[in-house]
Amino acid sequence: MPAQSLPELLATWRRAERHWERFGSPAEVRAAAMAVVNAYVDYQEASLPTNANEFLLIADDDQTLVAATSGITAVLDYRPDEVIGRTIAELAADEDLESTPAQWQSFLAAGRQDGRFRLRARDGHSVALRYQARAHHPVPGFHLSRLWPADD
């Protein structure tokens, strides 16, 4: 199947959002929200330069990762599907683990957070990252982080 163009991916994302806006049971709303998340990630994945050393993570309200872009492989040596279902704490480096719950609460209260955080790569070593995070994006109840290796 040929890759979709950016306009096609954008249209898919917008259709998913319109479907999410409909009334439904909690399970239907969750499924529709996940369709928005997946369409958003597909669009972002296609729009990132192929040599980009950054990746996106999307977590739900329980801090469980529900989506990731392929850039995570170059930075942490995980495939995106390998982090889905893990919590932020499961990937947090030991030196940031204790502060993670308070930092998460601060992030949700502010709605946006920019900073530095360390995650564990597949082999266990700590990777220093910079991030920009937005709460309730691309839909309420889901939270986006754009991460890339820290310069120092």
Kindly report, residue by residue over 89-100, the tens digit of the pLDDT: 999 999 999 999
DSSP code, position 58: E
Rounded to whole angstroms, the Cα distance separating 59 from 66 reads: 5
Query: Which residue reads 């790569």 in tokens?
Result: 121
pTM of the shown model: 0.91
Q: Which domain holds residue 8?
A: 1-47
Rounded to whole angstroms, the Cα distance separating 27 from 32 reads: 9
56 and 40 fall within a common domain: no
107 and 142 fall within a common domain: yes
- The yes-or-no verdict on residue 13 having pLDDT over 60 is yes
Letter string b/e over residues 78-106, b meaning 16 or more CB atoms within 10 A of that residue's CB:
bebeebeebebeebbbeebeeebeebbee
H-helix segments, the chain: 6-20, 26-47, 71-76, 80-83, 88-91, 94-97, 100-110
pLDDT at 39: 96
77 and 35 fall within a common domain: no
24 and 75 fall within a common domain: no
- The yes-or-no verdict on residue 50 having pLDDT over 90 is no
87 and 147 fall within a common domain: yes
Kindly report, residue by residue over 103-132, the tens digit of the pLDDT: 999 999 999 999 999 999 999 999 999 999
- The yes-or-no verdict on residue 27 having pLDDT over 90 is yes
62 and 128 fall within a common domain: yes
- Number of domains comprising the chain: 2
86 and 121 fall within a common domain: yes
- The yes-or-no verdict on residue 77 having pLDDT over 60 is yes
Mean pLDDT over 41-70 rounds to 91
Query: Which residue reads 């993570």 in tokens?
Result: 57
pLDDT at 23: 82
80 and 151 fall within a common domain: yes
40 and 86 fall within a common domain: no
Q: CA 2, 81, 126 angle in degrees (round to 5)? A: 125
Which CATH number characterizes residue 122's domain? 3.30.450.20
pLDDT at 51: 67
